[in-house]
Structure 1
Amino acid sequence: MSFRKTSLTLACTLAAGLVLGGAAAAQDFPDGPVEMIVPWGPGGGSDTLMRIVANHGEEYLGASIPVINLPGVSGTQGLEEARERDADGYTMAQIHEGLLVSHYTGVTDVHPDDFEPVASFTLSPQYVVVNADTPWETFDEFVEYAKENPGEVTFGVTMAGVPHLHAAMIEDATGAEFSYVGYEGTGERIQALVGGHIDAAIGDIASSLEFVKNDDLRFLATGATERIEATPDVPTLQELGHDLELTINRGLFVPKGTPEERIEVLEESLSKLGDDEEFVEQVNAAGAEVVIRNREDYAEYMDDLDQTVSNLAEHIKQ
């Protein structure tokens, strides 16, 4: 046998071994619990929704998914821990748009690029909501007033958080100018809105819908890409001519360097949740929608948002 034939034979044997080895690794994975780090405390939106993902995802993954709450520093402390975990597929971390805000406002050096996306699962559409005693019946009326009276509209947000980002995106797209009032969480600012202490806020179904039904508040527009079943009469910002998506997408990432075949197992298994009727019902009951974005689509979404947050960073710094 010639040297060339021997080399080719050896190369083919090694390649076949690598392929079989990768397939075997995928078949054997996971053979133990896959931890899910949620960088927020128990009881919040991220914790509630990710526990629904974990509880139903175990059936499809064939392994337990214990939820580990590691809150602190605007949801970044747990992600610092996740970034340092072994890249073996046995650690997943929940990330949403807030990480980009924290990164570009100097709260943390952690960035989504420190991880590899698995998929995103839930979408919480955000709303522009006003006190029902205000004169604005439509989003256009609201924007027109905010443009003609710069700084007079008091807008409740979480400073240097996702609601602040969303309000800044509205300003950037419409030319409106708000005066921001900071609140720690959604519940706190919606209570302030109901009490008439502020004019407007970024809210969601879970925090605001009952107040809207009781005529205490009014939804002017939603940042979802399509009208929401629970609020069929509320137009989307895109319908109104603004290229904006104001949503909170909660997804899972794994540390950089995790073997490709293991990420594929996680993605394929957990993406089956989209067809699980009980899962969909529980997510809807928690005030969110089920929108499964695969790895590629989720990465593209985060890349596009990364540019937006980077551009608006100076505007939303505290």
Structure 2
Amino acid sequence: MTIRAGLAALFTAATLVAAPASGQDYPDHPVEFIVPWSPGGGSDTLMRLIAGNIAPYLGVEMPIINMPGVGGTVGLREASRRDADGYTISQVHEGLLVAHETDITDQNWDTFDPIALMTASPQYLVVHPTEDYTDFDEFVEFAKAHPGEITMGVTLGGVPHLHAAMIEQAYGLQFQYVGYEGTGERVRALVGGNLDAAIGDISSSLQFVENGDLQFLAVGSPERMAATPDVPTFMELGSDLELNVTRGIVMPKGAPQEAKDKLEAALEALSKDATYIEQTNNAGAEVMFRGQEAYATYLGKLDDTVKSLSEVLAP
């Protein structure tokens, strides 16, 4: 019996050593961050700010691995295949929902466990100055009287297209879409008078607004932006629209709840860090924290909207 007891004790000890760390021990080694975009872009820059500042709050490092391709879906596919142990995370934004609905990928937001929304880049309705309308209400009135005549610059099948279609749906309008690859390209076309309107943001458009070359009519943030205090939100203008490019953290589905809770708490603490906030603002975005439940609610509501606009967004 003594030998059997000794062997049993050795077996138990070996099992404990071999067993993966429980959620209560999380994290006990670095958490790998798959960023599904190329180095140097907006998402990569903002995610590196998270990774570079998280260690004091999470207790471990967060090395980044860039896996770009097909609008972010290559890296997300790899992330979805990783073990759901809390040691792999990735990043999503609205583009994933559009890519899913337009059959670019079979993944969607609920392929993953949302952990926290971290940043938002509020999007603006930007117009070339005209005597036809001087504010948003006049713009809506003109657009209703001239359906299909306002040329709207977007990335066809992309997030700007989604945002413009959401404006159409909310106010009963009809635009004539003109496709451009990037924000800078369509803003330049707008400044040159080749477009009537576009979806833009602070970093791409503010200098032209300040010069009088363009005009912001409305912003998609929940509250007015400090940089543009005179620009009303769409919510003020009678709709429930949030037009943001948000960036949030997700885990492979089925991760331990303790791991999800601990990462969420670390990210929430980071969202209040003055240095991190300043760095994010300098990168052209706002810190907008929402935890697991609120972030999932936001993505679910947006997904319903994307589905309702699938015919408009189809290539």
TM-score by length of 2: 0.90
- Residues 32-43 of structure 1 correspond to what in structure 2 (within 5 A)? 32-43=29-40
Q: Kindly provide the amino acid, as one letter, of the partner of residue 73 in structure 1.
A: V
Paired with 2:75 and 2:128, the residues of 1 have a C-alpha distance of: 36
Q: CA deviation at 1:299?
A: 0.6
Structure 1 unaligned spans of 5+: 1-20
Q: CA deviation at 1:177?
A: 0.8
Matched, 1:198 2:198: no
Q: Name the residue aligned to 1:262.
A: 259
Q: Name the residue aligned to 1:182.
A: 179
Paired with 1:166 and 1:217, the residues of 2 have a C-alpha distance of: 19
Paired with 1:207 and 1:33, the residues of 2 have a C-alpha distance of: 36
* Contact 1:119 1:251 survives alignment (8 Å): yes
Q: CA deviation at 1:152?
A: 1.2
Cα pair distance change 1:132/1:44, threshold 3 Å: farther
Matched, 1:101 2:104: no
Q: CA deviation at 1:25?
A: 2.5
Q: Kindly provide the amino acid, as one letter, of the partner of residue 275 in structure 2.
A: E
Q: Name the residue aligned to 1:131.
A: 128
Paired with 1:68 and 1:131, the residues of 2 have a C-alpha distance of: 40
Cα pair distance change 1:117/1:238, threshold 3 Å: same
- Residues 90-239 of structure 1 correspond to what in structure 2 (within 5 A)? 90-133=87-130, 135-239=132-236
Q: CA RMSD in A?
A: 1.6
SS in 1 for 2:91: strand
Q: CA deviation at 1:132?
A: 2.9
Q: Kindly provide the amino acid, as one letter, of the partner of residue 288 in structure 1.
A: A
Q: Kindly provide the amino acid, as one letter, of the partner of residue 199 in structure 2.
A: I
SS in 1 for 2:54: helix
Q: Name the residue aligned to 1:281.
A: 278
Q: Kindly provide the amino acid, as one letter, of the partner of residue 230 in structure 1.
A: A
Matched, 1:294 2:291: yes
* Contact 1:134 1:199 survives alignment (8 Å): no
Paired with 2:67 and 2:186, the residues of 1 have a C-alpha distance of: 24
| Identity among equivalent pairs (%) | 60
SS in 1 for 2:153: strand
Q: CA deviation at 1:110?
A: 0.5
Cα pair distance change 1:134/1:178, threshold 3 Å: farther
* Contact 2:24 2:258 survives alignment (8 Å): no
Paired with 1:246 and 1:302, the residues of 2 have a C-alpha distance of: 13
Structure 2 unaligned spans of 5+: 1-18
- Greater Cα offset, 187-196 or 153-162: 187-196
- Greater Cα offset, 296-305 or 280-289: 280-289
* Contact 1:128 1:201 survives alignment (8 Å): yes
Q: Kindly provide the amino acid, as one letter, of the partner of residue 188 in structure 2.
A: Q
SS in 1 for 2:168: helix
Paired with 1:181 and 1:59, the residues of 2 have a C-alpha distance of: 46
Q: Kindly provide the amino acid, as one letter, of the partner of residue 75 in structure 1.
A: G
- Residues 239-258 of structure 1 correspond to what in structure 2 (within 5 A)? 239-258=236-255
**Which of the residues 49, 53, 71 maps onto 1:52?**
49
Matched, 1:271 2:279: no
TM-score by length of 1: 0.90
* Contact 2:125 2:218 survives alignment (8 Å): yes
**Which of the residues 291, 306, 310 maps onto 2:307?**
310
Tell me the alpha carbon deviations over residues 4-61 of structure 1, each in whole angstroms, 9 at most, x when there is no partner: xxxxxxxxxxxxxxxxx99x72453222221212212222221111111111112211
Cα pair distance change 1:307/1:82, threshold 3 Å: same
Q: CA deviation at 1:238?
A: 0.9
* Contact 2:26 2:258 survives alignment (8 Å): no
